[in-house]
Chain A
Amino acid sequence: MKEQLRVKNEELRMKFGVLAFFLQLLTLNFSLLTALAVEVEPTRLELKIAPGRPVAGELQIANKGHKPVEVRLSAGPYRFLDPKLKLPSCQEWLRFEPARLTLAAGASTSVGYTVTPPANLEVDTAGEYLGAILVDEHPAEEPVNAQGERRVEGPVAGSSRLTIVPRLALAVYVMVEGKERVEVEIGGLKVEKLASQAGATGGREAAPDLLKMSVVLKNLGSVHVRPAGTTTLFQEDGHLYHTAPLGKSMPLLPTATMAIPSLLPLPPAGRYRWVITVEVQEGTVLQQESSFEVTPEGEVVQ
């Protein structure tokens, strides 16, 4: 079976290799000349809104490509990374002016957006609404020729055609003034050893054993936060052993729980004191500590 596969591999590799080489070369050359590239600033919106008062702003859109593009803006649902979360949407509140525009190569412009909350927002209990701004790139329409005709590319009868649309999806977070409540608690500290994958690296130097320190954060508030902080490890005699930023600052959405790991090479045997400091927002700091021991055999006991 393996031998058959090997022979098949060789045959296909020969055939495909030559074809792929020329196709890649062709693609690369053309893509450098014709690729579209739209960039948008800012890359996400975090807004505060008062019931009954629309909020307006601008997005800067630039065409960094070598040919004109048509940009279409629309609102979409928020793309949750945690399927268990059910948070209200602000998709219907978003409007753009203009929602469709053509940008010449190298040009940039601003597009206005308006977030209009519904009149009954006050009676809703939610503190935050989520959505997304979808910025689509399309090839610009061909200019009208001398005969007053516009060349429109479409599929030939019996043929098929796929239009490829690059889309930037910008996250939108709308917090309701007066209902934003920030409350985060540390749900636990866990230390464990991650054994190295010795022998699995194909002859390369084996990776060292790692110490994984995880802190669980629970958002009990009504709006998202982007927690920051530090993890600090002290030796038994009080000397500082290690300090590092705490994980990464994903949005911790309301009702969500997030475990943020921090990795470092397994320290030498001994007892350690681990102090976690989390800055939930400016001026709100949480701190908790735990201790654990690394045994002479390299085991971690919390």
Chain B
Amino acid sequence: MTSHFEAQPRNPALKSGFLLALLVEMTAGLLAFCLLPSPAFAAFNLKYIRPASYDAHFNPGEQVTFTVIIKNNESTAQFAEVDVTLVNQATGAELTLTPVITATIGAFQEVTLTGTYPTVASATTPSTLSGATNNIPEGSYTVTFPLFDGNGDKSDSVRGTFPLHVGTETESLRVFPEALNLGTIPPGRYMHPVPIEIRYSYFQYNRLRQDQPFAIRIYTDNAARYEGVPHALKKPSPAGLVSMNGRYVIPVKCWTLNFGPDIQETGWDAPLAGPPPVDDDDYWLGPPLLEGVRSYGSANWVRIPDLVDMTPNPITWRRLVGQDQYDNRFVADSNVTGDFTLKSPFTLYLATEAGPTTVEGTYVANLVVELWSP
């Protein structure tokens, strides 16, 4: 019995032709695979030349321009689409700006693409709305630039390095309460339990559309009230509370979350537990060093100076919050890592120390909270 194949007449020419056709077909396929890139490969070769650029601050009604540079690393032209995506930092609402930025980029070419969108007051567009929009409502947003190819596949993405802010320029300061009745000041250290709430609104940008630096200083203004003890050899600073007869002073210290080392160094979890205890010298005077010396500059509770104590040298100032000119940080002796900003509102606590030489009486003071920007 012979097999079916063996029964067929053998034809070498036919066999060779079949193999040749197969070889040609395979070569053509391989060539097509290598030379004509599939969309999936193309997607990975459309890249941003980092980073994207835009300005930081705008008033409603102004136009925001986003600029990205994209390079096509492929040997054929490709379609590119950039969807500028904003996420509102307060509400979490996600906005995709329309029309999206598109272009066809030639082989191995790089192009600069820009998209310009108007800003509007929040009354026009609710800040909680998510989805596609052709304008940017008031608010502060993180910015992302996802890049898509012609197939809609995400090819690359970059994030903006700073938030985009749309708002009206403002500079205001609110303090509550306007006056604090401290009652009878007890002997020893005493933290007044009622906090002072400070609300500030500071948004000024310069001609580069970046933040102006500012500082909120605190000091007493008692020079006119304080006389000192007659015939005293030394007249101390009028910083603090001054007796009604102008002779005596009770120093006042203050605390905000900005002051003092953090939990890693002190063991005190201030954000959760509130102001550190005034009776503990580590927080009141400063953490201990070797040989009984303390790091007085690192105390959590810090002295409030008087206006006459302060010089043009900012080291003599007491800043509650502040924004540096370049990196939005302040570095102080009690806060060597910087970051002297607190979101509004923040609370301030006051404490007094009535020592053995403190004289009984009624004490008053003007406490000034000052917003300054050059």
Residue positions of A touching B, CB distance < 8 A = 2, 5-6, 9, 12-13, 16-17, 19-20, 23-24, 27-28, 30-31, 34-40, 43-44, 64-65, 77-81, 83, 85, 132, 134, 136, 138-139, 153, 155-169, 171, 226, 228, 239-251, 260-261, 263-265
Contact = CB atoms under 8 A, between A and B. Distances in A.
A9 B270 CA distance: 9
| Best-surrounded residue of A40, A132, A134, A164 (most CB of chain B within 10 A) | A164
A40 B169 CA distance: 11
Contacts of B373: 43-44, 171
A5 B182 contact: no
A166 B374 contact: no
Contacts of B177: 27, 30-31, 34, 164
Contacts of B98: none
B262 to A, nearest CB: 12
A251 B181 CA distance: 41
A159 B362 contact: yes
Given A27-B195, A30-B177, A153-B179, A12 B371 contact: no
Interface in B282-309: none
Interface in B162-192: 170-185
Given A43-B373, A160-B364, A9 B273 contact: yes
Interface in B322-365: 325-327, 345, 347, 350, 360-365
Given A242-B51, A265-B51, A166 B174 contact: yes
A80 B325 CA distance: 13
A64 B170 CA distance: 12
Contacts of B269: 9, 13
Given A27-B176, A158-B362, A164-B175, 18 more contacts: A5-B268, A9-B267, A24-B195, A30-B176, A30-B177, A36-B178, A43-B373, A64-B172, A80-B312, A159-B181, A161-B364, A164-B196, A168-B370, A169-B372, A226-B206, A226-B207, A245-B209, A248-B325
18 contacts: A2-B267, A6-B267, A12-B273, A27-B195, A43-B204, A79-B374, A81-B314, A160-B184, A160-B250, A162-B182, A163-B179, A163-B364, A241-B49, A242-B50, A247-B325, A248-B325, A249-B207, A265-B50
A27 B194 contact: yes
B213 A23 contact: no
Contacts of B326: 247-248, 260-261
A73 to B, nearest CB: 14
A83 B315 contact: yes
A37 B194 contact: no
Contact of B369 (A43, A160, A167, A247): A167
A173 to B, nearest CB: 9
Given A24-B347, A39-B170, A250-B374, A162 B367 contact: yes
Nearest to A162: B180
Contacts of A44: 373-374
Nearest to A38: B172
Interface in B4-40: none
A143 to B, nearest CB: 17
Contacts of B274: 13, 16-17, 20
Contacts of A250: 212-213, 325, 374
B241 interface: yes
A85 B311 CA distance: 12
Contact of A168 (B171, B183, B277): B171
The 6 lowest CB-CB distance pairs between A and B, nearest first, are A83-B313, A31-B176, A5-B267, A249-B206, A160-B363, A35-B174
B267 A155 contact: no
| Best-surrounded residue of B183, B211, B311 (most CB of chain A within 10 A) | B183
B210 interface: yes
Given A80-B312, A163-B365, A35 B184 contact: no
Given A24-B195, A37-B174, A162-B365, A12 B277 contact: yes
Interface of B: 49-51, 53, 55, 69, 110, 112, 161, 170-185, 193-197, 199, 204, 206-213, 217, 221, 241, 244, 250, 252, 267-269, 272-275, 277, 311-315, 317, 325-327, 345, 347, 350, 360-374
A240 to B, nearest CB: 7
A83 B194 contact: no
A13 B213 CA distance: 35
B101 to A, nearest CB: 18
Given A2-B267, A166-B175, A169-B372, A31 B199 contact: yes
A161 B363 CA distance: 6
Nearest to A5: B267
A160 B183 contact: yes
A167 B219 CA distance: 11
A43 to B, nearest CB: 5
Given A40-B171, A169-B370, A162 B179 contact: yes
